[in-house]
A and B are shown apart, each in its own frame.
Chain A
Amino acid sequence: MDIFVQQIVNGLVLGSIYALVALGYTMVYGILGLINFAHGDIVMVGALVGLSVFHALSGSGLPVPLVLLLAVGAAMVVCMALGVSIERLAYRPLRHAPRLAPLITAIGVSILLQYSAALVWSKQYIPMPELLSPTRFTVLGAHVTDLQAAIFLLACGVMAGLYWFITKTRVGTAMRATEQNKEVAGLMGIDINRIISLTFLVGSGLAAVAGIMVVLYYGIGHYSMGFILGLKAFTAAVLGGIGNVRGAMLGGMLLGIIESLASGYIGDLTGGFFGSNYRDVFAFLVLVLVLVLRPSGLLGQASGERA
């Protein structure tokens, strides 16, 4: 039983990271109908900027919370600037082009970001300096570190804040209006370009937070780390219903738990025929099943246009 609880805990931590990244995909898709494949690489940039700050300040004697805050701050500033500039330079000129053009541009931006990062940070794995020493406690027989708990709680907090921002504030309302119909929203006096920039700003900020979490949790950063992470988060967004903010949160958590349970139990359930190395297969199998049975995702509304 405690093994099962432990797998759920593992899944929730992994899922928190997926959910934060998935939000970036889903918000951009909701407003532009664009799958921003560069989003995973923005997470990578956030992670590596954070690592650089940790390395620069780890021996400086500054209090740990301040170092963390500075790292998150630096990562957010860089990622937000990057996200907004990418939209301005790469996507806005193509806004009225056929859908395939911005999609391919997004893939191009992704590759550009990866290899720029390889130039800046080299292609080596970058280890995280010893900064935190997580303490462990037990919940329902499962071991949880304070770091894991902090990741989960912070992710939930950020998502709650985002949900409040989108549903309760004026700007959030404008975002939802833009999502529903750009032209009409424009006629109502909403500055569409500003709202789209804001969407990239918020999404990239979340990506930076997710990047720092990855670095703190796994203790390792690498120029190509954003690719698989982005793919998983995209899967999570589709699972929950792409374009739907609550769906991205749910999809992220679900995907984390599915992966955890799959790698924990596949071997036993199939008598050793499938090993735990098949966990990604199961994650993507879930994606295929969702697309076949419920194309708009778990929480998505059926629309004429399918994701």
Chain B
Amino acid sequence: MRIFRALPIITAAAAAIMLSACGKEEATSAASKAPATADQVVIVKIGVAAPLTGPQAHIGNDIRNGVQLGVDDLNAQGLTVGGKKVKFELLAEDDEANPTKATTVAQKLVDSKAVAVVGHFNSGASIPASKIYSDAGIPQISPSSTNPKYTQQGFKTTFRVVAHDDQQGPTLANFAVRKLGAKSIAVIDDSTAYGQGLADAFEKTVKELGAHVVAREHTTDKDTDFTAILTKIKGTNPELIMFGGIDPQAGPMAKQMASLGIKAKLIGGDGIQTPNFIKLAGDASEGQMASMPGLPKEKMPGGQEFMNKFKSKFNADVELFAPMGYDAVFVFADAMKRAGSTDPAKFLPEVGKTRLQGIIGPIEFDEKGDLRNGPITVYVVKDGKWEALETVVPGGAPSPQAAAAPKIPAGATQAGY
């Protein structure tokens, strides 16, 4: 290891060569300083962008820690790309779950020469930021953004390792109508890209399955008082209430449902399936349900080992998307290995051809960059803990937009299994 420490200047210079997508002058001046040793180490910067402060900080830091763990594990393994040793470095940026801030930090990551980005958490942040990564030509894997629009913009650089709302919404709806037998359902969303997208997809499928949407209400992602809309919903006597949103709203909402004497259960998406929801809702969380893309943490192929490693390193339990963040780093590393280069222009096409067994299961992307056959699990709160009820694999039901904007040349896509 001593040689690693002895060559900081060389490594930095080498990194500058490897990373300079633009700025030729910089590269040539750096090249003159870098002696061509056989065992030089290339520094590769991986960016992670998520809300590290604010109401969603617990989820953002979870992702950051997952990515950090991935980077550390890769460095411990000692990856070699194109005959050169590679050392990964993490650049963590806080997007505050704010779409405007997201574009600022995206630009910052591009400017600091990140070759790949894991992020962002919120669909509302991932979508505007994806334009910047696309313009810079660096691949972006969102560990968690489930709004369908994210991969429908025709960018070659956008990928995700979760099922999206066109899959999650209908899966929830199927579960609600077929499994729970709900015939009248009220739908609430929090007016965000994520919440509204999920609620719309849910509502559409519920109607197709012949159940009634008795009320469609909206709130915001800053509100805590839902008594008025819940009272209105109570008047329509739904058997189930679906909320498209995240836990700071869902917690008080479950509480207020209890105090209004609403017997219907609350069901939501992955933004609610958090330990925080149970803390915020208290006793009122019992029996509420939420879906979560991916297998249950315990059932993931590498889940138990990952959780132990995570716990011993960060002294925290895996909140939500840490395994996805971890796997995203390995997708990048795998693509670099196959391309024999850490230059985003060279390894980007390889990201689309990924066939990897990750912590979360088999990872393979379709032509838009969405995860193929991403499983979705529905959970219920039992004795103050989330418990898996059932896992659904949506199967390759193509969404109407599937034909639009093929991202990778047709020959490159492998025949799916």
Contact = CB atoms under 8 A, between A and B. Distances in A.
A175 to B, nearest CB: 33
Nearest to B54: A123
A259 B227 CA distance: 10
Contacts of B211: none
Interface of A: 3, 6-7, 10-11, 13-14, 122-125, 127-128, 130, 133-134, 136, 143, 145, 147-148, 218-220, 222, 225, 228, 259-265, 267, 272, 275-277, 279
Nearest to B277: A127
B228 A260 contact: yes
A169 to B, nearest CB: 35
Contacts, number: 98
A10 B231 contact: yes
Contacts of B229: 263-264, 276
A136 B222 contact: no
Nearest to B229: A276
Contacts of A11: 228
Interface stretch (B156-164, B248-256, B309-317): B248-256
Best-buried of B229, B231, B279, B280 by chain A (most CB within 10 Å): B231
A222 B216 CA distance: 28
A54 to B, nearest CB: 12
B217 interface: yes
B224 A220 contact: yes
Per DSSP, chain A at the interface is helix
A218 B224 contact: yes
Contacts of A14: 225, 227
How big is chain B's contact interface, by range?
20 to 34
Contacts of A265: 232
Contacts of A127: 251, 276, 279-280, 282
A219 B231 contact: no
A219 B225 contact: no
Q: Max chain B CB contacts within 10 Å: which of A148, A218, A222?
A: A218
Given A123-B54, A124-B55, A219 B228 contact: no
B231 A130 contact: no
Given A7-B232, A220-B280, A277-B218, 12 more contacts: A3-B231, A6-B234, A14-B227, A127-B276, A133-B283, A143-B259, A145-B259, A220-B252, A225-B224, A260-B228, A275-B217, A276-B229
Nearest to A136: B261
B374 to A, nearest CB: 29
Which of A136, A264, A267 has most chain B Cβ within 10 Å?
A: A264
A7 B283 contact: no
B31 to A, nearest CB: 44
Interface string B54-68: 110110000000000
B259 A148 contact: yes
B220 interface: yes
A114 B248 CA distance: 19
B260 interface: yes
A127 B280 CA distance: 5
A277 B216 CA distance: 11
A117 B261 CA distance: 35
B235 A3 contact: yes
Contacts of B276: 125, 127
Interface of B: 53-55, 57-58, 191, 216-220, 222, 224-225, 227-229, 231-232, 234-235, 248, 251-252, 255, 259-261, 276, 279-283
Counting from the closest, the 3 A-B pairs by CB-CB distance are A277-B218, A263-B228, A10-B227
Task: Pick from A122, A220, A260 the residue with the most CB of B within 10 Å.
Answer: A220
Contacts of B218: 275-277
Contacts of A220: 224, 248, 251-252, 280
Nearest to A7: B231
A242 to B, nearest CB: 24
Given A127-B251, A276-B218, A219 B282 contact: yes
Contacts of B234: 3, 6
Given A133-B283, A277-B218, A277-B219, A219 B255 contact: yes
Nearest to A118: B53
A3 B282 CA distance: 26
User: Which has the most chain B C-beta neighbours within 10 Å: A122, A143, A147?
Assistant: A143
Count chain A CB atoms within 10 A of each CB in B217, B232, B281 and give the residue with the most: B232
B331 to A, nearest CB: 30
A133 B281 CA distance: 12
Interface centre among A123, A130, A219, A222 (most CB of B within 10 A): A219
A13 B231 CA distance: 14
B232 A264 contact: yes
A261 to B, nearest CB: 8
B220 A277 contact: yes
A276 B252 contact: no
Contact of B231 (A6, A122, A148): A6
Contacts of B248: 125, 220, 222
Nearest to B219: A277
Contacts of B279: 127
A125 B232 contact: no
Nearest to A261: B228
Contacts of B57: 122-124
A223 to B, nearest CB: 10
Given A130-B282, A275-B218, A10 B259 contact: no
15 contacts: A3-B234, A10-B227, A122-B57, A124-B54, A127-B280, A128-B282, A147-B259, A148-B259, A222-B248, A264-B232, A267-B232, A276-B219, A276-B228, A277-B191, A277-B218
Contacts of A3: 231-232, 234-235
A267 B231 contact: no
Contacts of B255: 218-219
Given A136-B259, A143-B261, A222-B55, A264 B228 contact: yes
Nearest to A135: B259
Contacts of A128: 282
Nearest to A123: B53
A276 B232 contact: yes
Contacts of A222: 55, 248
Nearest to B236: A3
Contact of A134 (B235, B259, B280): B259
A125 B280 contact: yes
A10 B259 CA distance: 11
Contacts of A125: 55, 248, 276, 280
B260 A143 contact: yes
A116 to B, nearest CB: 15
A250 to B, nearest CB: 20
